[in-house]
Amino acid sequence: MRIDLLLSKLCLTKTRSIAKTACDKGLVSINGKKAKASAEVKEGDLISLSLYGFKHEIRLDKIPAGNVAKKDATNFYTLLSKTPLNS
């Protein structure tokens, strides 16, 4: 699954276009490498994103098959850290 689609489905970004823009600006990385919006993710990947005033680091536990309800989104990943960004 593409990283921009995954971030949108798991409610980590509000829309897919926001996820795509974040990837284009270099705010998203997979396993320590800057990710393009079309980068494929797999289970166990470490994803880092700097959005909404925080740097989130998550581990992807499983890939969603279809759409995900907002209340179920956290079942698909583990939040490793959430630190405020210094302005």
Segment 8-46, tens digit of pLDDT: 999 999 999 999 999 999 999 999 999 999 999 999 999
Write out the two tokens for 7. 């971030």
Segment 67-83, tens digit of pLDDT: 999 999 999 999 999 99
Query: Per the structure, how many domains does the chain have?
Result: 1
Domain that holds residue 35: 3-84
Q: Which residues pair with 84 in a beta bridge?
A: 54
> pLDDT at position 66, please?
87
> pLDDT at position 78, please?
95
Question: 6 Cβ partners below 8 Å, 6+ apart?
Answer: 41, 60, 63, 64
CATH number of the domain residue 74 falls in: 3.10.290.10
Average of per-residue pLDDT across 50-69: 93
Q: Are 31 and 17 in contact (CB under 8 A)?
A: no
Position 87 pLDDT exceeds 60: no
Per DSSP (E only), the strands in the chain are: 28-30, 33-34, 46-51, 54-60, 77-84
